[in-house]
Structure 1
Amino acid sequence: MTVQRQQILAQLRQIEQEEQVKIIYACESGSRAWGFPSKDSDYDVRFIYVRPIEWYLSIFEKRDVIERPINNLLDINGWDLKKALNLFRKSNPPLLEWLQSPIVYMEDYSAAEQIRGFSSLTFSPKACMYHYLHMAEGNYREYLQREQVKIKKYFYVLRPVLACEWIEKYGTMPPIEFTTLTDQLLPAESEVKAAIDSLLVRKKAGDEMDFEPRIGPINTYLDEKIQYYKQAAKRMPTSTDGQDRQLDELFRSLLKEAWG
């Protein structure tokens, strides 16, 4: 076990004690989970937790997130199970990404596996495509339209654009690993893929990747794809309704599993 993993687990156990909760799932999010961390990348730890059953039996609305200040490259926060399930029924992409993260820190209960089992029933191609499209548009507009651009920001536009392409092609939640998206969606010998692969090598090697001239083939690709998915998103199907009762039952069973 690495020192970093030990520190993360210690932080999670400390949160359990301080907040009087049980963490039922914890994983890595962000660039480490996506497969292109820099040498100084944060550890973006995300978790789902449950409070004692009595906490939910209240007439008052209560805070349903736990956050800790970023400390020593550790960015850690989590959602209450009730909040997570409500977002899950709306096909929330960040939560769906957590559930398929390749780096899992805690999974002591059946919660994550059971929620994954519902994914095909609640997944909304339209909602998820709009989420990734808005992410791509915002980052592209802010970072990549000048003559000199912050080169590492290309990844934060490419990944959501490729996610849109995956959703259109396969109708499922995109894989979280960036290279899976590029390998399956971009022609192997294309100019765009060659440019992206070159950037990826630099980022993993820890290059500064600060301001540089924008990369023509990638900008052209992003321009075309963003415009295309603005129209394609309108045609995407929504999720299947009618899972509320099952999710209610799942919530109750997971509370019982955690607290006995």
Structure 2
Amino acid sequence: MSEIHQSILRELRGIEAEENVRILYACESGSRAWGFPSKDSDYDVRFVYLRRPEAYLSIFEQRDVIERPISELLDINGWDLKKGLTLFRKSNPPLLEWLQSPIRYEQNYTVADSIRKLSPLSFSPKSCIYHYLNMARGNYRTYLQGSEVKIKKYFYVLRPLLACAWIEKYQEVPPLDFNVLALDLIPEGTELREAVQDLLHRKMSGEELDLEPRLEVINVYLEQQIAHFELAASQFGSGGGVADAALDELFRAALLEVWGEDSRWTSSGGNQSET
């Protein structure tokens, strides 16, 4: 186990102790999971956690996100399982990505696998297309206008648009790996493929990518794809969806698995062993 992996696990144990929660699943998100990290990329750690049963029986709303200050090396935050399942019900792309991350720090219980089994039912092509399209459109307008652009930001527009193209082609959750997307969806032997692969090589070799003249062949492709999916997005299906009862059952099963008999509470708020 690497030193950084050990450091991440220490941070997770600290969160459990400080917040009185159990971490169900923790993974890498961002450029490392997407396959285009720089040599100095930080670690984007995302996790799903579960509070003690009594926290969910309170009349007061519980905070459903845990965040830690971002350092030069680590960016760590997570979602309560209840929040995660609520968003999963709406085919939330970030959560779907976390579940298939190639870099997993922890998977302590069966919850993540249970959610994965329901993913094909939850997946909504329309919702995911709109998510990725909005991401691409926002990054394009912010970073890639003008004669000189922040060159590394091309990846943060290319990847979501390639994810849209994957959904259009295969009607399934797109893979995280940028290179898998690019090799499948950008025709071999084209100027576009050559420009994208060259940019990827430069980024992963550690070359400093800052302001440079815009890459016209990529900009043309991005503008065409944005225009295409702006017109096409509404035509995609919404998916079958997961039954609310199935998500409730998954949540209750997680409470029982994680907290054992402490999760067996009656509607009056007491433990079943009480009379």
2:268 is matched with: none
Structure 2 unpaired stretches of 5+: 261-275
How many angstroms apart in 1 are the aligned matches of 2:72 and 2:152? Answer: 22
Q: Report the CA distance between 1:42 and its aligned residue.
A: 1.0
In structure 2, the residue matched to 1:5 is 5
1:22 has 2:22 as partner: yes
Q: Write out aligned runs for 1:229-248 (5 A).
A: 229-241=229-241, 243-248=243-248
2:260 is equivalent to residue 256 of structure 1: no
**RMSD across aligned positions (CA):** 0.8
Shift of 1:242: 5.2
SS of alignment partner, residue 70 of structure 2: strand
3-state secondary structure, aligned to 1:95:
helix
CA distance in 2, matches of 1:126, 1:111: 26
Residue 160 of structure 1 aligns with an amino acid whose one-letter code is P
Gapped runs of 5+ residues in structure 1? none
Verify: 1:170 aligned to 2:170, yes or no: yes
* Counterpart-to-counterpart distance in 2, 1:56 and 1:145: 47
Equivalent position SS for 1:71: coil
Matched-pair contact (CA < 8 Å) for 1:149–1:212: yes
Q: Is it true that 1:70 corresponds to 2:70 in the alignment? A: yes
Question: 1:89 corresponds to which residue?
Answer: 89
What is the one-letter code of the residue matched to 2:39?
A: K
Verify the 8 A CA contact 2:124 2:241 in the aligned structure 1: no
Q: How far is the alpha carbon of 1:225 from its aligned partner?
A: 0.5
User: Are 2:14 and 1:45 equivalent residues in the alignment?
Assistant: no
Query: Is the contact made by 2:22 and 2:51 (CA closer than 8 Å) also made in structure 1?
Result: yes
> How far apart are the structure 2 equivalents of 1:2 and 1:122?
35
- Contact 1:121/1:243, CA 8 A, preserved across alignment: no
Query: One-letter code of the match for 1:67?
Result: E
What's 1:100 paired with?
100
Secondary structure in structure 2 of the residue aligned to 1:66:
strand
Which amino acid in structure 1 is aligned with residue 63 of structure 2? R
Give the number of the structure whose alpha-carbon radius of gyration is greater: 2
Q: Distance in 2 between matches of 1:147 and 1:6?
A: 44
Q: CA deviation at 1:36?
A: 0.7
**Would the aligned equivalents of 1:136 and 1:157 in 2 still touch at CA under 8 Å?**
yes
* Aligned 8 A contact 2:16 2:23 in 1: yes
Q: Spell out the pairing of 1:187-202 with structure 2 (5 A cutoff).
A: 187-202=187-202
Name 2:146's counterpart in structure 1: 146
The reply to whether residue 184 of structure 1 matches residue 191 of structure 2 is: no
In structure 1, distance between residues paired with 2:94 and 2:193: 26
Count of matched residue positions in the alignment of Structure 1 and Structure 2 = 260
In the alignment, residue 248 of structure 1 is paired with which amino acid? D
Take 1:104 and 1:182, find their aligned partners in 2: how far apart are those partners? 23
Percent identity, please.
Answer: 62
Shift of 1:259: 0.8
Deviations 1:56-104 (A, max 9, x none): 1112211111000012410000000000000000000011100000000
Cα distance in 1 for partners of 2:82, 2:100 equals 19
Shift of 1:39: 1.3
CA distance in 2, matches of 1:254, 1:189: 50
How far apart, in 1, do the equivalents of 2:258 and 2:96 lie?
A: 21
